[in-house]
Every structure is written in structure tokens, then in C-alpha cells.
């Protein structure tokens, strides 16, 4: 399996932290030298390991925000 290349360009925010040091973060990330996307997933403290997550374009993130606002979340 080939290695996944990523660069965290901007940390938008940390949603939560666990006792183990992992944190759930929203970041702007370039995956494999592609156009940056918004990414929500768990990260180890040094960002060397990651959990499963979801990656969204700016349009998808905006649509998610609208859905949450409509539902008063």
C-alpha cells in the first residue's frame, strides 16, 4: 500500500481531546499534493497518526453549516 502524503495548511479548531492525547480537529489539508479540503478527524498529539474522518470541499462545508443552522444545532 502506498504512503498517504498530507500537509495540514491551517488548523481551524479542536472539537475535543481525549485522555490519551488524541484530538478531534477541523483542519484545512492538502492530501497527496491536491487542492486543500476541509477535514474532520482524530489526530495523535504529534499528528503522526490519524483516525478515520470526513473530507469536505468549501461548498460541502458551507452546506453542512446551513443544515446545522436550520436545525438549530
DSSP 33: T
> Does pLDDT of 52 surpass 90?
yes
pLDDT of residue 59: 98
CATH number at residue 13: 2.30.31.70
Domain that holds residue 41: 6-70
> Does pLDDT of 67 surpass 90?
yes
> Does pLDDT of 2 surpass 90?
no
In tens, the pLDDT along 23-32 reads 999 999 999 9
In tens, the pLDDT along 31-44 reads 999 999 999 999 99
Sheet containing strand 23-31, strands side by side: 6-17, 23-31, 37-43, 50-56
Q: By C-alpha distance, which of 73, 17, 23 is closest to 53?
A: 23
Number of domains in the chain: 1
pLDDT of residue 3: 86
- Residue 1 included in any domain: no
Amino acid at each position: 500500500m502506498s504512503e498517504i502524503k498530507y500537509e495540514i495548511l491551517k488548523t481551524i479548531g479542536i472539537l475535543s481531546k481525549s485522555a490519551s492525547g488524541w484530538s478531534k480537529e477541523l483542519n484545512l489539508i492538502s492530501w497527496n499534493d491536491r487542492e486543500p479540503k476541509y477535514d474532520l478527524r482524530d489526530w495523535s498529539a504529534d499528528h503522526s497518526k490519524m483516525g478515520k474522518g470526513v473530507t469536505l470541499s468549501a461548498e460541502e462545508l458551507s452546506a453542512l453549516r446551513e443544515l446545522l443552522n436550520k436545525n438549530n444545532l
